[in-house]
Amino acid sequence: MGTGYLSAFPSEQFDRFEAIKPVWAPYYTIYKILAGLLDQHTFAGNPQALKMVTWMVDYFYNRVQNVISKHSLERHYLSLNEETGGMNDVLYKLYAITGDPKHLVLAHLFDKPCFLGILAVEADDISGLHANTHIPIVIGSQKRYEITGDPLYKAIGTYFMEIVNSSHSYATGGTSVSEFWSDPKRLASSTLQTENEESCTTYNMLKVSRHLFTWTKEMAYADYYECALTNGVLGIQKGTKPGVMIYMLPQGRGVSKATGYHGWGTKNDSFWCCYGTGIESFSKLGDSIYFEEEGEVPSLYIIQYISSSLDWKSGQILLNQEVDAVSSWDPYLRVTLTPTLKEGAAQSSNLNLRIPSWTHTDGAKASLNDQSLNLPALDGSQENINEEAPENNPAYSNVYVGNLSHEGLIKRETRFEIHSSPKMPSATSPNDM
């Protein structure tokens, strides 16, 4: 008591970790505790939670410094070959709150240079690495860029996403086989089985793509998020038995979720890492539907078409999004947006709608208060319905909702509908696969 150590297992686990002896990922658990407490402070305003985080971090700062002083910095980095979760990520977030240089130093010490260095020189050399050990390190490096402004870590995150998405991912957006990365661009020939696409890796890749989207507003990252969310999150909970999760998402021919090495878990007796991330994933399904951009004229980006409601304070608008259920007989995605101005709302706002890459505009329709709108071509141009709208962003159909009360186009309550049909896949030969 009073040491700053908080965990369900004894601190001797870290003695083994520091001695490079077999032990299962104690820092992974510590990261989850720290992240939960920091969220309590950030989102719930709990000051006690922040004190607990700083006490815990002081304890581990002293432990890491002791390893370095008794042995070497290399010895500490060697221990990071064990799974440590997002320790660097939560420590960068803590530093952003406290400004304590010790928190920044400790965050740096959980950046894994032998891995981030590979990405810094743009080498696709991640084959054979444990996927979920390393994806959280990239997330932490992305936070390092956001906190320190060091452009190297922006480049690292961008390149990592590029190689994983192009060379190590299935069509579902998931990655890994038996928790590891295999040879690039050889997935179909040797990896399709029951132990594909660990749920934790999808959970973390969504974070990677979310960071990249906030930096660039590129539609490709939003498309990836949609694909991974739809296939790799919604499919990991047993539909008729809420709380029953799966570890892996099989990609093999003729296999099922129930017949893999892990199969379906149980409500009360399965404690895989993917249970924790799976439960968290279903608690934040509303994450990354909407993004806002501050400015003289605030902008709202709708990048996921999911039925939901938003109280957009910057734009002083209540927005309701309704997405019709998709069925095989209807080739259209049908979305209805109903913005309602709050009392006293007078400022202009921009509404930006993502056009998914899997759609085309042949036969697509959009209307605003029963008035037809012109849709952009597939080159990514956009249509503004108000001449005062800012310059086009090539990734979106931009519907300007400024000066709502006197433009005549938009009333207090507005219905914007877009019906977009999916692209038909082009024919490919076996050599193209």
Question: DSSP string of 17-73?
Answer: HHTT-----HHHHHHHHHHHHHHHHHHH--HHHHHHHHHHHHHHHHHHHHHHHHT-H
Beta strands in 133-180 (DSSP E): none
Between CA 172 and CA 428 the distance in angstroms is 19
Q: What is the widest separation between alpha-carbon atoms in the chain? A: 74
Retrieve residue 172's tokens.
């579902």
Helix (H, G, I), strand (E, B) or coil at 364: strand
Per-residue pLDDT 10s for the chain (433 aa) are 678 999 999 999 999 999 999 998 999 999 999 999 999 999 999 999 999 999 999 999 999 999 999 999 999 999 999 999 999 999 999 999 999 999 999 999 999 999 999 999 999 999 999 999 999 999 999 999 999 999 999 999 999 999 999 999 999 999 999 999 999 999 988 899 999 999 999 999 999 999 999 999 998 999 999 999 999 999 898 888 888 889 999 999 988 888 888 888 888 888 888 888 888 888 889 999 999 998 888 889 999 999 999 999 888 889 999 988 888 787 778 888 888 888 776 677 888 888 888 877 666 777 777 777 776 665 433 333 332 333 333 334 444 333 222 233 333 344 555 555 555 433 333 233 3
Retrieve residue 117's tokens.
């260095």
Domains of the chain from N-terminus onward? 12-283 (1.50.10), 290-422 (2.60.40)
Question: What is the helix, strand, coil percentage profile of the chain, to 5?
Answer: 40, 15, 40
The DSSP code for 230 is H
The DSSP code for 285 is T
Q: List, as one string, the DSSP characters of 293-347.
A: E-SSS-EEEE-S---EEEEETTTTEEEEEEEPPP-TT---EEEEEEEEEPTT--S
Q: Both ends of the chain: CA-CA distance in Å?
A: 59
Between CA 327 and CA 325 the distance in angstroms is 6
Residue 160 to residues 58, 69, 120, 132, 168: CA-CA distances in angstroms? 31, 33, 9, 13, 11
Contact 41, 94 (CB under 8 A): no
Closest CA to 83 of 143, 118, 130, 34: 130
Between CA 322 and CA 324 the distance in angstroms is 6
Contact 124, 179 (CB under 8 A): no
CB atoms within 10 A of CB 327: 8
Residue 246 to residues 23, 224, 233, 238: CA-CA distances in angstroms? 24, 21, 10, 8
Helix (H, G, I), strand (E, B) or coil at 147: helix
Closest CA to 32 of 95, 113, 87, 114: 87
Between CA 137 and CA 86 the distance in angstroms is 6
Place of tokens 């658990």: 29
Retrieve residue 40's tokens.
């309590």
The DSSP code for 260 is S
Q: Could you tell me whether strands 290-293 and 317-323 are parallel, antiparallel, or unpaired per DSSP bridges?
A: unpaired
Which residues, in sequence order, are bridge partners of residue 310? Answer: 319
